[in-house]
């Protein structure tokens, strides 16, 4: 398995892309395949990415932070468009956070794993929802997993 960073059009080989092999995929130990609780995974890459104008890091929230309903955020992905076709180019959809992290404008099938970015901070990842994009769409709240993320990274650094 590889991770491709810096891609805009997933059907083209672009000069901005970095393809890095994944050494290890670490799924949350309490992930439930039926309810999708603890739907989060970290990937340990073979080597560090080269940070530039196309590849950068994003801040994580504090473990007690969460996005309040009404807050404007964005989801970035290569998922299905409203016409049902998959898009080849990266797209951004502005969303309004609803109660329990459901959003008013909807992501579509293929968006799973897309980041929910609020004020330049990664607040969530699209987890699952209806294939037609109708609500509710469910987002994994990253702030709930910050202690697990930090523990896991620390453990991986020592191996």
Domain 2-57+145-157 and domain 72-143 have a common topology = yes
Spell out a b/e string for 49-83, using b for 16 or more CB atoms within 10 Å of the CB, else e.
Answer: eeeeeeeeeeebbeeeebbeeeeebebebbbbeee
Q: Where are the domains of the chain?
A: 2-57+145-157, 72-143
Q: Tell me, what's the pLDDT at 21?
A: 98
Closest-CA residue to 57 (of 128, 153, 138, 129): 153
Query: CA 70, 109, 57, 90 torsion: positive or negative?
Result: negative
**Tens of pLDDT, residue by residue, the chain (159 residues):** 999 999 998 889 999 999 999 999 999 999 988 887 888 999 999 999 999 999 999 999 987 777 888 889 888 877 766 677 777 888 888 888 877 544 444 444 445 667 889 999 988 887 755 455 555 456 778 888 999 999 999 998 876
The CA distance from 157 to 74, in Å, is 31
Q: Tell me, what's the pLDDT at 51?
A: 98
Give the CATH class of 2-57+145-157: mainly beta
Give the CATH class of 72-143: mainly beta
């Amino acid at each position: 398995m590889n991770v491709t960073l810096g891609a805009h059009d997933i059907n083209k080989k672009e000069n901005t892309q970095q393809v890095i092999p994944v050494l290890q995929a670490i799924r949350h130990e309490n992930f439930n395949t039926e309810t999708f609780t603890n739907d989060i995974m970290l990937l340990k890459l073979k080597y560090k990415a080269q940070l530039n104008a196309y590849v950068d890091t994003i801040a994580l929230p504090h473990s007690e932070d969460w996005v309040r309903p009404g807050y404007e955020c964005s989801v970035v992905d290569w998922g299905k468009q409203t016409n049902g076709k998959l898009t080849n180019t990266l797209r951004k959809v502005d969303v309004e956070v609803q109660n329990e992290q459901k959003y008013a404008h909807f992501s579509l099938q293929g968006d799973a794993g897309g980041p929910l970015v609020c004020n330049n901070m990664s607040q969530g990842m699209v987890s699952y929802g209806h294939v037609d994009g109708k609500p509710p769409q469910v987002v994994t709240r990253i702030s709930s997993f910050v202690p697990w993320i930090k523990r896991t990274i620390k453990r991986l650094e020592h191996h």
